[in-house]
């Protein structure tokens, strides 16, 4: 894990704060001052900020937070806008969000004190379900794209004005359900398996439809249910059990993938070794007649 990310995940500092601390020489790794922003923290490294050790959190705590509209999912904002960490109780202010919801969106945000778990879940293809409202009737073109997927060279519509993301590929929706229709809007419940940057806003923006409301109500089988806005709850025992089973399955898949990669590397090395041996044999066979000729010439003299 990169040094600034390690500090952010395991302390009160944001990633921007960590960058400034590294730049000012206030971060040490194994008692050595380090100014390399790309340094990758290794197992056994001792990281300290201003002489205070940064200890990796090993206990796993998971919470569900009902994020309100008008808050950013970040530790610090340069424009001094409200973040979720202004709203959360102090005991959760070191927790890491699993993915993001944009400023105008609301709903379920899973948070954890484990950087490893946060990273695994952010990479996952776990289902995400949203209640959304768009300012147009649903069209056959929209429904076809939801069923078949969509590839856009220009997906800026619906994205943030400063976003550098242009092209985007949208996988087929896992499910969608029309929950309300009028001449001016459509209410939908949609389930997708990814969480790309403003994915739903960009998807419907392509069809010149604005997302008026967006609320996440489920993530990977964890449901928001009746949790009030700006409130938190701990995972239930069942949710913890499901999470541990999922993490175990991920570790097994990663171990299997690592083994397969190593097997491929070993097989490639073996092929190279055999090829080199065959080439050596050919080279020796070519040199043998030359040696015999040289001996014959020497004996004639």
Most confident of 3-7, 87-91, 252-256: 87-91
| For residue 290, pLDDT beyond 90 | no
Measured between alpha carbons, how far is 225 from 222 in angstroms, rounded to an integer?
A: 9
| For residue 301, pLDDT beyond 60 | no
Q: Report the DSSP beta bridge partners of residue 29.
A: 32, 47
Catalytic residues: 102
Pairing outcome for strands 232-234 and 150-152 = unpaired
Backbone angles phi, psi at 152, to 5 degrees: -120, 130
Quick one: what percent of the chain has pLDDT higher than 90?
Answer: 49
| For residue 285, pLDDT beyond 90 | no
28-66 pLDDT, tens digit per residue, is: 999 888 887 788 888 888 899 999 998 876 668 999 999
Identify the residue whose tokens are 């390399």.
36
Measured between alpha carbons, how far is 266 from 231 in angstroms, rounded to an integer?
A: 52
- 3-class DSSP assignment, residue 204: helix
pLDDT at res. 201: 96
pLDDT at res. 112: 94
Measured between alpha carbons, how far is 95 from 239 in angstroms, rounded to an integer?
A: 18
| For residue 282, pLDDT beyond 90 | no
pLDDT at res. 273: 87
**Element (H or E) spanning 191, and its range?**
strand 186-192
Measured between alpha carbons, how far is 141 from 132 in angstroms, rounded to an integer?
A: 18
Between 255 and 217, the higher pLDDT residue: 217
Backbone angles phi, psi at 131, to 5 degrees: -95, 125
For 67, counting Cβ atoms within 10 Å of its Cβ (0-12 exposed, 13-18 middle, 19+ buried), the class is buried
Average pLDDT, the chain: 89
199-237 pLDDT, tens digit per residue, is: 999 999 999 999 999 999 999 999 999 999 999 999 999
Q: Do residues 112 and 61 make contact, with C-beta atoms less than 8 angstroms apart? A: yes
């Amino acid at each position: 894990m990169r040094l600034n990310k390690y500090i952010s995940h395991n302390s009160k500092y944001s990633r921007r704060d960590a960058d400034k601390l590294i730049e000012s020489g206030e971060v040490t790794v194994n008692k050595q001052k380090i100014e390399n922003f790309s340094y990758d923290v290794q197992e056994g490294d001792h990281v300290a900020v201003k002489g205070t050790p940064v200890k990796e959190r090993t206990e796993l705590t998971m919470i569900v937070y009902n994020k309100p509209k008008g808050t950013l999912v970040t530790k610090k904002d340069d424009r001094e806008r409200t973040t979720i960490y202004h709203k959360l109780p102090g005991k959760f202010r070191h927790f890491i969000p699993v993915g993001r919801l944009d400023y105008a969106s609301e709903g379920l945000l899973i948070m954890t004190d484990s950087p490893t778990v946060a990273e695994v879940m952010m990479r996952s293809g776990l289902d995400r379900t949203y209640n959304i409202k768009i300012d147009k009737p649903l069209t056959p073109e929209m429904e076809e794209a939801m069923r078949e997927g969509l590839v856009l060279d220009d997906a800026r519509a619906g994205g943030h004005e400063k976003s550098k993301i242009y092209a985007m590929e949208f996988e087929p929706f896992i499910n969608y359900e029309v929950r309300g229709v009028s001449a001016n809007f459509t209410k939908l419940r949609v389930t997708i398996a990814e969480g790309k940057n403003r994915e739903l806003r960009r998807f419907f923006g392509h069809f010149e439809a604005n997302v008026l409301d967006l609320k996440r109500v489920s993530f990977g089988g964890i449901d928001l249910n009746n949790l009030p806005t700006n409130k938190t709850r701990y995972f239930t025992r069942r949710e913890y059990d499901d999470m541990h089973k999922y993490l175990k399955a991920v570790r097994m898949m990663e171990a299997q993938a690592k083994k397969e990669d190593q097997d491929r590397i070993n097989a490639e090395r073996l092929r190279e070794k055999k090829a080199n041996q065959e080439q050596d044999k050919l080279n020796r066979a070519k040199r043998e007649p030359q040696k015999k000729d040289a001996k014959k010439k020497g004996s004639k003299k």
